[in-house]
Structure 1
Amino acid sequence: MTSATLIRHSRRLAAIALVALLAGCAGPAPQAPPPSPPVAAVVPPISLSPRVIEQASAYRAYVNHASSISPAFADGGGVAQAVRTGSAYEPKQLLRGAIAYGALAALQDAAFVAGVRKFVSDPDQRRTIAYEIMKDPTYAVGFSGSAGAAGRVVAALADDGQRLLDTGRSVKQAAYDVQHAAWSKADVQDREARLAQAKQLSATATPGEMAETALLQQAVTGGAPFGQATEALSPPYPPVVVRSLAVAALAALGYADDASLAQVMPMLSEVNSAQCLNMSKLNLYQCLAVAKPHYEDMFCIGQHILMDTGRCLMKGAGVIDSLDAKALAVAQAAALTPASATITARSRSKRR
């Protein structure tokens, strides 16, 4: 072996030894990182926009104030105040509030909420179902537990309507009973201004009350539940009840918050109930236009502010009071004018 060959061989051995040494120092080969755990689906909470809750609060404020009107009037000032109190609702807002309040009533039904919430874990399915409800509110009737929720909606709205109706009957009767008092037969002062004010109040939206709004906000998630479980009702349901169920279902899906407000607000309306409330206002204006003494204003309050409005709420819930149905039949048979036959022929010639 020549010296050159020996040198090359030595270098090769040295290189092999160096590679082996470095391999020993490097340790084991790096392992691939473990796979990341699957990302858990974000389950949205039950939510309802504060603006929708505000509508329900304003509705409740009106029902509470109007149904508290006492028939025990003692002077014309009290009658005038009752006209202002009873006139203070804008029909579209009152209807929005009624449907929103019905949605809150539906959310008190645990079975209905559970029937909707089982679809929230899959984002795609949740989105698809919300779209179907927005496209057709009757889709909400298909959820498990909807019959019990519908019963709660009907009970809540019919109870409010009945309160107004009962108060109206008392005030209307007082319009006849009070005619022995001299003050009741005195003419209302500035009748045109009184009518103009009633029209202005009827066109002005009113805010909810803070305490009521706070309670309704808590009721969304069961923090301040209201109402009692009622008898389950089978479909078909009137449109107001269907829309209340639909808004409640969207809230349970997490699609009734501020981000979805543009789709939710149009659901707080219904043609037949809107026409009914508008007609009650027109009848009120006609009544006040021909009413002269204070007791005739009392008649307008009882019949067209309280009874007519209560009737509209009850009809929206699919309920017609039996006594009111009889009275309506009598009125139709007598073909009374919108101004109630000029305050029922001047209250039968002042009850002589």
Structure 2
Amino acid sequence: MSIQVPGRRGLALAAVVTAAVLAGCAQEAPPSAPAPPPAAPVPSVSLSQKLLEQASAYRAYVDRAAQISPAFTDGAAVAQGLRVGESYQPDQLLRGAIAYGAVVALQDPGFREGVRTYAKDPDQRRQVAYEIMKDPAYTIGFSGSAGAAGLVVNAFTEDGRKLFDDGKAVKQAAYDVQHFAWSKAEVPGRDARLAMAKQLSSMPLEGSTDITAKLQQAVTGAEPLTLAANSAAPPYTPLVVRSMAVAALAALGYADDASLEQVMPLTAEPHSAQCLNMSKLNLYQCLAVAKPHYEDVFCLGQHVLKDTGACLLRGAGAADPDPPVFDTPRITQVSTTPTTKRPHRRKKPD
């Protein structure tokens, strides 16, 4: 058997093929590492629809009650004023105040961005939200907190002053209307009137779709509220701190419907709640003993408008404009026996 030996030409061709194969192997890229997952999107600033509705109800009540006119012309006008003023449930009004305060705090750009700094990293965002829920005062450490606090303090002070000043005018009317015979007539159905006051005080407030939409726009930044106030240095009252805490959670994306169960405890504030509840108790006692219409006017001016306004003023940290009818939130011992002073009937001129 003969063996064929390739010639020089065959050997050269084989060498070329082998070199090409080896070169192809050498240039073949190693397997690439998998691409990292895309970064989690930074959540938007948001507030639960329920909190927005609570804020809307608060805003609507304050605006409505502050417009009660002291120019009463008959008993029916007094009864209508009472129905408007006494129509709030204390705990709900307080939740609405804090939710409204949160919307106000978000109107400060420095505070908003100071909190948003911690929203970019999911782990950091989660940890900061946990710290706020554990201790609302954690919010004071954010950049811009003094500016936000100033807005909240100013908002509550203005609302409290509106109610207080209107109550002062209505209370004065309790004396002025005694010039008219109708004011000295006894209120008909006094027991039913007291029962209605208690019923209206237990019913939830309702805001309006217009106010709710406006507050929603303010939260997202699409249409900010027109507010101005000086920065306020700490310490702050619990009402102000909790408003800022809810605002901070909203800026972190942790105050939406999915987080509502964790956020709602921040909308309860014991000192302000005690103040508003005492206002209601004083109102009930006043109505229980009031007989003529002018005494109902007094109950409305003092225990509906002035007392409620004073609670907001104290919640803002403002000084009491009048000697308190009940103890301030800063005092731990609170009287449980409300007292009521009724206006004396004017003497007829000689």
| TM, length-normalised to structure 2 | 0.88
- Partner secondary structure for residue 348 of structure 1: coil
Q: State the distance in 2 between where 1:320 and 1:199 align.
A: 30
| Percent of matched pairs sharing the same residue | 60
Distance 1:316 1:140 in 2: 18
C-alpha deviation, 1:229, in angstroms? 2.6
- Contact in 2 for aligned 1:75/1:183 (Cα 8 Å): yes
The answer to whether the 8 A contact 1:84-1:201 is kept is yes
Q: Which range moved further: 29-38 or 173-182? A: 29-38
CA distance in 2, matches of 1:37, 1:254: 24
SS at match of 1:340: coil
Q: How far has the Cα of 1:41 moved from its partner?
A: 3.9
Pairwise mapping of residues 1-12 of structure 1 onto structure 2 (< 5 A)? 2-3=1-2, 5-6=3-4
Displacement of 1:40 in angstroms is 3.2
* Unpaired runs of at least 5, structure 1: 330-334
Separation of aligned partners in 2, 1:72 and 1:109: 39
1:348 aligns with 344
2:163 pairs with 1:164:
yes
Q: 1:128 to 1:351 in 2, by over 3 A?
A: farther
The question of 1:108 aligning with 2:107 is answered: yes
Shift of 1:114: 1.2
Pick aligned residue for 2:29 from 28, 31, 36: 31
The SS at the match of 1:278 is helix
Aligned positions of 1:82-231 closer than 5 A: 82-231=81-230
Give the C-alpha shift of residue 39 in structure 1: 2.5
Q: How far 1:248 moved relative to its partner? A: 0.7
Contact 2:307–2:325 (CA under 8 A) maintained in structure 1: no
Residues 296 and 216 (structure 1), Cα distance of their counterparts in 2 relative to 1, 3 Å cut: same
Q: Which residue of 1 aligns with 2:235?
A: 236
Native 8 Å contact 1:178 1:184 kept in 2 = yes
Alignment pair present for 1:249 and 2:245: no
1:156/1:227 contact within 8 Å kept: no
TM-score normalised to structure 1 length: 0.88
Shift of residue 206, structure 1, vs aligned partner: 1.7
Please list, as runs of the form range in 1=range in 2, the aligned pairs for 1:194-343 lying within 5 A after superposition: 194-322=193-321, 324-325=322-323, 338-341=338-341, 343=342
Distance (whole Å) between structure 1 residues aligned to residue 73 and residue 21 of structure 2: 107
8 Å contact 2:278–2:326 — kept in the other structure?
no
Q: By how many angstroms is 1:351 displaced?
A: 4.0
Shift of 1:185: 1.0
Give the aligned residue type for 2:117.
K
Q: What is the deviation of 1:338?
A: 3.3
Q: Per the alignment, in what secondary structure is the counterpart of residue 319 of structure 1?
A: coil
Question: Counterparts of 1:52 and 1:266 in 2: how far apart (Å)?
Answer: 12
Q: Return the alpha-carbon distance in structure 1 between the equivalents of residues 340 and 82 of structure 2.
A: 17
2: CA distance, partners of 1:33 / 1:301: 81
Compute the RMSD of aligned alpha carbons: 2.9
1:51, CA displacement in angstroms?
0.7
Contact 2:45 2:252 in 1 (8 A): yes
Distance, in Å, in 1 between the alignment partners of 2:59 and 2:345 is: 38
Higher helix share: 1
Q: For 1:309 and 1:218, locate their aligned partners in 2 and report how far apart those are by CA, in whole Å.
A: 28
1:175 partner SS: helix
Structure 1 residue 299: deviation in Å? 0.5
What one-letter code is carried by the residue in structure 2 that aligns with 1:239?
P
Measured after TM superposition, the shift of residue 20 of structure 1 is: 5.6
Q: 2:56 is matched by which residue type in structure 1?
A: S
Partner of 1:332: none
Contact 2:54 2:99 in 1 (8 A): yes
Q: What are the Cα deviations for residues 56-89 of structure 1, in whole angstroms up to 9, with x where unaligned?
A: 1000111011111000111111111111111100
**Alpha-carbon distance, 1:30 to partner:** 4.6
- Deviation digits for residues 140-176 of structure 1, max 9, x if unmatched? 0000110111010000011001000000001000110
CA contact (8 A) 2:326 2:338 kept: no
TM-superposed deviation, 1:227: 4.0
SS at match of 2:223: coil
| Corresponding letter in the other structure for 1:270 | E
What do residues 275-331 of structure 1 show as CA deviations (whole Å, max 9, x unaligned)? 000000000000000111111111000000000000001111111243x148889xx
How far apart, CA to CA, are the structure 1 residues paired with 2:19 and 2:143? 72
C-alpha deviations, 1:206-259, integer Å up to 9, x for none? 221111111001010222322423111111101010101111111111111111
Q: In 1, distance between residues paired with 2:31 and 2:192? A: 82
- Asked if the contact 1:164/1:309 (under 8 Å) is kept, the reply is yes
Mean Cα deviation higher: 116-125 or 156-165 = 116-125
Gap regions ≥5 residues in structure 2? 328-334
- Is this contact kept in 2: 1:179–1:185, CA < 8 A? yes
CA contact (8 A) 1:106 1:245 kept: yes
CA displacement at 1:180 relative to structure 2: 1.1
